[in-house]
């Protein structure tokens, strides 16, 4: 009898010990700043549910790639996807975890939110300094109903290297050959004209303060700062308004199934209602992991986020990944992540 009590006590205390050990477990990751707010929201909720915490260092996409290549973290995060050959060279896999839209914001006295219409060619012209006044013919042609003032245009761009820069220049380089040749795409480019402001918030405040300014920010910042967003012409030739619906439309038209290594930038996607500048934020992990448990914990978290993270994401103006894409990631990408024994570390 006494023995049994002792055994029960022992097993209970062991079980307790096991749970408290699990509570101390954390997932380590580093990278992009843009998805950081939603990752930390998810992490809070996930810790409440499972007891496993997330230690995510928002050090920027470039830093995330460096850290995962050096294997100092379990996963890296980047706003710009890595090219398939780079992935292969470093034996990494990547998948999209969350999406967001980049929107052009304008400040012209007398022009309402969502009233101004622009197309890619014009936007590229403005950012190259070729179109320098709001009453320029190119803009007037797109906006026959608007009375455009004689006001100098001040283009505002992101001064530091950023995923937002990458999405925006990637879009402009696709729609304007001139832009592609003279400026090109990248996280950090040399803008021929305009003013560089720091971070999304800096661009938002500069545009908010300057009459005649135009900028581009993650959609959440446009909303928070009450900035006027311009309509953009998409690939189908329709003018679309920025918002969850048009972002989602772009995302659902994206052809993830045929993207090698999931290398896909969601700019200029087909579809009548697609917003032309949508981007996914990617997670990077090694295909051969030393610590299978750590990798499994990370994948459990991302699986949980695919299933339960949509509401938190929408509240923060992000676009959750559609379920079919999540399924594809589970089946085709996560199955490539193998432990030291050669078995996939994560099973559905």
Residues forming contacts to other proteins in the complex (CB under 8 A) are 59-63, 65-66, 152, 154, 156, 159-162, 169, 183-192, 194-198, 202, 205-206, 209-210, 213
Closer to other proteins by CB, 101 or 202: give it. 202
Pair of tokens at residue 116: 């101004």
Any idea what DSSP says for residue 267?
B
Any idea what DSSP says for residue 92?
E
Q: Please state, as a whole number, how many other Cβ atoms lie within 10 Å of the Cβ of residue 90.
A: 15
CB 34 → other proteins: shortest distance, Å?
A: 12
CB 90 → other proteins: shortest distance, Å?
A: 12
CB 273 → other proteins: shortest distance, Å?
A: 30
CB 259 → other proteins: shortest distance, Å?
A: 22
With residue 137 as reference, give the H or E element that holds it.
Answer: helix 137-142
CB 129 → other proteins: shortest distance, Å?
A: 10
Closer to other proteins by CB, 133 or 314: give it. 133
Instruction: Residue 324: name the closest of 237, 226, 256 by CA.
Output: 256
Closer to other proteins by CB, 211 or 335: give it. 211
CB 272 → other proteins: shortest distance, Å?
A: 32
Closer to other proteins by CB, 95 or 179: give it. 179
Closer to other proteins by CB, 53 or 186: give it. 186
Closer to other proteins by CB, 156 or 312: give it. 156
Q: Which residues of 243-254 are buried (b: 16+ CB within 10 A; e: fewer)?
A: beebbbbbbebb
Phi, psi of 30 (to 5 degrees): -155, 150
DSSP structure string for 20-61? HHHHH-EEEEEE-STTHHHHHHHHHHHHHHHS-EEEEE---H
CB 81 → other proteins: shortest distance, Å?
A: 15
Instruction: Residue 170: name the closest of 33, 265, 60, 106 by CA.
Output: 265
Instruction: Residue 173: name the closest of 124, 113, 138 by CA.
Output: 124
From the number of C-beta atoms within 10 Å of its C-beta (0-12, 13-18, 19+), residue 29 rates as buried
Closer to other proteins by CB, 74 or 205: give it. 205
């Amino acid at each position: 009898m006494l023995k049994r009590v002792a055994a029960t006590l022992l097993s209970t205390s062991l079980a307790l010990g096991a749970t408290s050990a699990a509570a101390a477990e954390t997932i380590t990751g580093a990278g992009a700043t843009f998805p950081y707010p939603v990752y930390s929201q998810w992490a809070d909720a996930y810790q409440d549910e499972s007891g496993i915490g997330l230690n995510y260092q928002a050090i920027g996409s470039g830093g995330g790639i460096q850290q995962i290549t050096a294997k100092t973290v379990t996963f890296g995060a980047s706003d710009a996807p890595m090219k398939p050959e780079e992935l292969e060279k470093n034996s990494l896999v990547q998948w999209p975890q969350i999406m967001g839209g980049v929107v052009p914001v304008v400040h012209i006295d007398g022009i309402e939110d969502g009233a101004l219409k622009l197309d890619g060619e014009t936007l590229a012209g403005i950012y190259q300094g070729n179109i320098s006044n709001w009453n320029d013919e190119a803009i007037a042609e797109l906006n026959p109903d608007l009375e455009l003032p004689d006001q100098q245009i001040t283009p505002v761009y992101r001064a530091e290297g950023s995923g937002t820069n990458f999405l925006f220049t990637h879009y402009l380089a696709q729609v304007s050959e001139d832009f592609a040749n003279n400026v090109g795409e990248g996280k950090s480019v040399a803008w021929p004209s305009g003013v560089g402001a720091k971070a999304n918030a800096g661009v938002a405040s500069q545009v908010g303060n300057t009459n005649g300014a135009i900028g581009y920010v993650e959609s959440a910042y446009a909303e928070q700062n009450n900035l006027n967003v311009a309509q953009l012409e998409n690939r189908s030739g329709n003018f679309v308004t920025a918002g969850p619906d048009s972002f989602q439309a772009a995302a659902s038209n994206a052809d993830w199934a045929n993207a090698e290594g999931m290398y896909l930038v969601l700019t200029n996607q087909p579809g009548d209602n697609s917003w032309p500048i949508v981007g996914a934020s990617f997670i990077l992990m090694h295909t051969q992991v030393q610590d299978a448990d750590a990798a499994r914990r990370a994948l459990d978290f991302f699986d949980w986020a695919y299933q339960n993270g949509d509401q938190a994401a929408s509240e923060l103006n992000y676009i959750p990944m559609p379920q079919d894409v999540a399924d594809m990631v589970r089946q085709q990408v996560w199955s490539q992540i193998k432990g030291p024994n050669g078995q996939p570390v994560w099973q559905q």
